[in-house]
Amino acid sequence: MTLLIAGDIGGTKTILRLVEVTKQAVDFQTVHQVTYPSQNYSDLVPMVQEFLGETDYTPTKACFAIAGPVIQQSCQLTNLSWYLEADRLQQELNLEAVSLINDFAAVSYGVLGIKNEELEPLQGVTPQKDAPIAIIGAGTGLGEGFLIPKGNGDYQIFGTEGGHTDFAARSELEFQILNYIRQQKQVSRVSVERIVSGQGIISIYQALRDLNIHPEGNASVAETIREWEKQQRTEIDPAAAIAQAAATDRLCEKTMELFMEAYAAEAGNLALKLLPYGGLYIAGGIAAKNLAWMKSNRFLKVFKDKGRVSPVLDAVPIHLILDPQVGLIGSIMYGLNQ
């Protein structure tokens, strides 16, 4: 029996789960689980100490899936001012072993064990054996990863920083939004993540509003955005408010339309680079909470709108992951095998 701390560390929230494993990673029991606001802590150590202080258990291992590049078991988080090193965490938390893994590498491990009922098919074609598998998911940021078959039924898993590649505007309106973000954020380039993420939803709304393309119609959403802009209420989620109002407010509707089209286009770009005939899996909380947008014909049409090579994407199985904790499951699987 092994007691392991599994963590899914993001810029907005961190989920810590203490699990008891008796056989394999797929056979475990959750002992304790808590979700923490990441920004409320200066480092991971005091958060884990608080977490363990609520139990009488003494774990021996930990594996933390992190929203950022993991290099030689260390990571500077992209959307959080933490610098984590496995050796330091192991010492300060008094554990026998600590592993760090990119969050989308963890999602990739989780995909290998996910159940069919936790998937929503968007393009239901038969996956090809021994073909690559791709992962993409928008949340606080945009994550991308992939799995390459070894030829014996196993896969080698890679996390990437694909969300930080350049955003490619596809229309005059997207060019206007891109230039707006350059000026607003005072940056020389705009990454895909600045559009395809929770922050991206807010930026698209602001651009459409400030460029006088669509007037504000929902007073509640408008006030939520203003309070967030003034940092008067940091606990509110403007992106969620925009998504919820999209059915009745034209500005919110157009925001979500542009966001989902950019999401679909980037998913298609990833698919062209990898040709993931083993499956393309869409993770992240935004997709699962906006099923109607993701399942629309428009999403699939933009995904496959790749000019002369569009037909090669017809054979890519596309699945939306409904389980919000697939990365946490992946970190358990990874941690136990290290």
Q: Is the pLDDT of residue 25 over 70?
A: no
At 75, give phi and psi (nearest 5°): -155, 130
How much is the pLDDT for 283? 93
pLDDT 10s digits, 96-117 = 999 999 888 888 888 988 888 8
How much is the pLDDT for 121? 94
Nearest to 310 by CA among 337, 271, 280: 271
Mean pLDDT of 302-308: 97
Enumerate the domain spans of the chain.
2-108+326-336, 120-321
Nearest to 107 by CA among 137, 142, 140, 63: 137
How far apart are the C-alpha atoms of 105 and 63, rounded to whole Å? 12
Q: Structure tokens of 97?
A: 């072993």
How much is the pLDDT for 140? 83
Q: Is the pLDDT of residue 120 over 60?
A: yes
Q: Is the pLDDT of residue 8 over 70?
A: yes
- Express as a percent the part of the chain with pLDDT over 70: 97
Q: Is the pLDDT of residue 330 over 60?
A: yes
The architecture (CATH level 2) of 120-321 comes to: 3-Layer(aba) Sandwich (3.40)
How much is the pLDDT for 136? 96
How much is the pLDDT for 52? 94
CATH superfamily for 2-108+326-336 is ATPase, nucleotide binding domain (3.30.420.40)
How much is the pLDDT for 233? 59
Q: Is 71 helix (H, G, I), strand (E, B) or coil?
A: coil
* Between 332 and 245, residue with greater pLDDT: 245
